[in-house]
């Protein structure tokens, strides 16, 4: 088996990449990663493609979506404090190696393998290849972000430092409709959701979900404008381009809000095999409870109507619990090349994990569902 790296997915056939264990996750599929390359979403923001690939008998049997990073932007696993510790000691933290779906805080495979291959062996080789890239290129570290349970087991076995955090996810328990979902909530939470939805309808606002392939040119520009407005407010620049979103139209779902037939807000979601992923939103005018309707309730309703099993509306947001989203652990793994920093970060993560365990128990005690 040969382990190497390529600087562009143009060097790999789409069917070969998608034959790896990535089919259910839209953010690891060839189309998504290649579109980021093609439409100017990576290098300007510090993401330099450096895909690790495993070749056996001239066939692609494994790969990792890896990037040499020159900052920590667009990762959603925050290591700014680590970088600052290096800086204070006049040591370079950047560049580093990141194995992730860029700009996407969604759990998925990071050690991709063919289903008919020796998966554990290939995963082990991919991990070791990442560590070798760090050593050979004088990088500070390697980071596998939002890895799934299978990858987490392999990474932990190989001695990586493990880190966890929370997101808030909704699960479809075979609900017949939105009202059926509401019956599972406590009376207080149910009344609050009904009140928030009523505020939107009382303001003469309606919502609709449109498949990306069915968006008109005008709707595309409105949707992108909503995305751009929010990003400019938060960080001063929009990282993803309109061309990128249009290239992903087959998996994109737009949720629009209309006031007197004028579109006033919109959200961008992606649809996987069984999961809806909420990614971005924006609005022209502030309306009471509109964010909750567009980003949460319309998505839940869409999942129920289409039979999707999960809704992941994005990173952070403790307020989501009251609206039916439960705390769900996310995981990352880290290799720190310098032993002194590695030991210090290990101690930090041990303390952080204990705090998060306590916090998780607090969050679960406030869940909105009826106690059985």
What domains can be seen in the chain, in order of their start residue? 2-166+328-365 (3.40.630.30), 173-308 (3.40.630.30)
Spatial distance between the Cα atoms of 344 and 225, rounded to a whole number of angstroms = 44
Query: Is the predicted pLDDT of residue 315 greater than 90, yes or no?
Result: no
CB of 240 within 8 A of CB of 227?
Answer: yes
CB of 340 within 8 A of CB of 293?
Answer: no
Please state, in angstroms and as integers, the Cα–Cα distance from residue 206 to each residue in 80, 202, 256, 278, 301, following that order.
Answer: 41, 10, 8, 19, 13
Cα three-residue angle 349-139-316, rounded to 5 degrees: 40
Query: Is the predicted pLDDT of residue 234 greater than 80, yes or no?
Result: no
Query: Is the predicted pLDDT of residue 23 greater than 80, yes or no?
Result: no
**What's the whole-number average pLDDT of the chain?**
96
Give the DSSP per-residue string, 321-358.
GGGTPEEEEEEEEEEESSHHHHHHHHHHHHHHHHHHHH
Over residues 345-372, the mean pLDDT reads 92
Spatial distance between the Cα atoms of 244 and 269, rounded to a whole number of angstroms = 14
Give the DSSP per-residue string, 276-321.
EEEEEEEESS--TTHHHIIIIIHHHHHHHHHT--EEE--B--GGGG
DSSP letter for 10, please: G
Spatial distance between the Cα atoms of 125 and 269, rounded to a whole number of angstroms = 34
- How far is C-alpha 250 from the geometric centre of its chain's CA atoms? 18
User: Nearest to residue 138, comparing CAs of 98, 92, 73, 99?
Assistant: 92
User: Nearest to residue 307, comparing CAs of 174, 170, 183?
Assistant: 174
Locus of tokens 């093609």: 38
CB of 169 within 8 A of CB of 325?
Answer: yes
* Residue 367: per-residue pLDDT: 87
Spatial distance between the Cα atoms of 61 and 56, rounded to a whole number of angstroms = 6
* Residue 366: per-residue pLDDT: 87
What digits encode the pLDDT tens for the residues 73-97?
999 999 999 999 999 999 999 999 9
pTM: 0.96
- Tell me the three state secondary structure of residue 52: strand
Over residues 271-287, the mean pLDDT reads 95
What digits encode the pLDDT tens for the residues 91-112?
999 999 999 999 999 999 999 9
* Residue 372: per-residue pLDDT: 56
Spatial distance between the Cα atoms of 364 and 37, rounded to a whole number of angstroms = 40
**The tokens of 259 are what?**
């006031």
**Exposed, middle or buried, 273 (CB in 10 Å: 0-12/13-18/19+)?**
exposed
- Tell me the three state secondary structure of residue 38: helix
CB of 122 within 8 A of CB of 130?
Answer: no
- Tell me the three state secondary structure of residue 33: helix
Which band of pLDDT confidence, cut at 50, 70 and 90, is reported for residue 233? confident
Over residues 121-128, the mean pLDDT reads 98
What digits encode the pLDDT tens for the residues 152-197?
999 999 999 999 999 999 999 999 999 999 999 999 999 999 999 9
Residue 79, Cβ neighbours under 10 Å: how many? 21
What digits encode the pLDDT tens for the residues 317-341?
899 999 999 999 999 999 999 999 9
Beta bridge partners of 112: 63
Over residues 264-278, the mean pLDDT reads 97
Query: Is the predicted pLDDT of residue 22 greater than 90, yes or no?
Result: no
What digits encode the pLDDT tens for the residues 6-19?
999 999 999 999 99
């Amino acid at each position: 088996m040969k382990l190497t790296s390529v600087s562009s997915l143009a060097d790999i056939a789409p069917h070969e990449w998608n034959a790896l264990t990535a089919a259910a996750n839209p953010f690891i599929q060839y189309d998504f990663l290649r579109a980021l390359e093609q439409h100017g979403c990576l290098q300007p923001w510090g993401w330099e493609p450096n895909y690790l690939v495993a070749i056996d008998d001239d066939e692609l049997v494994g790969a990792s979506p890896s990037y040499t990073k020159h900052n920590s932007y667009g990762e959603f696993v925050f290591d700014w404090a680590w970088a600052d510790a290096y800086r204070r000691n006049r040591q370079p933290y950047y560049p580093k190696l990141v194995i992730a779906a860029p700009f996407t805080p969604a759990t998925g495979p990071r050690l991709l393998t063919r289903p008919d291959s020796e998966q554990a062996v290939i995963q082990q080789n991919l991990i070791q290849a990442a560590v070798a890239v760090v050593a050979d290129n004088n990088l500070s570290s390697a980071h596998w972000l939002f890895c799934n349970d299978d990858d987490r087991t392999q990474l932990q076995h190989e001695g990586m430092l493990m880190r966890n955090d929370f997101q808030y996810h909704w699960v479809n328990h075979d609900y017949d409709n939105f009202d059926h979902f509401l019956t599972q909530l406590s009376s207080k939470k149910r009344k609050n959701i009904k009140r928030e939805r009523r505020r939107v309808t009382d303001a003469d606002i309606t919502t609709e979900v449109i498949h990306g392939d069915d968006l008109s040119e005008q709707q595309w520009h409105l949707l992108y404008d909503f995305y751009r407005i929010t990003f400019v407010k938060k960080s001063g620049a929009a990282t993803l381009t309109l061309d990128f979103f249009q290239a992903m139209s087959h998996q994109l779902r737009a949720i629009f809000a209309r006031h007197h037939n004028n579109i006033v807000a919109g959200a961008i979601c992606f649809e996987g095999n069984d999961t809806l992923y909420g990614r971005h939103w924006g609005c022209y005018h502030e309306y009471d409870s509109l964010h909750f309707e567009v980003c949460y309730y319309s998505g839940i309703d869409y999942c129920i109507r289409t039979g999707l099993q999960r809704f992941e509306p994005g990173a952070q947001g403790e307020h989501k619990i009251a609206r039916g989203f439960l705390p769900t652990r996310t995981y990352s793994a880290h290799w720190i090349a310098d032993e002194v920093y590695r030991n210090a970060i290990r101690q930090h993560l041990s303390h952080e994990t204990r705090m998060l365990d306590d916090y998780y128990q607090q969050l679960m005690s406030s869940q909105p569902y009826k106690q059985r």
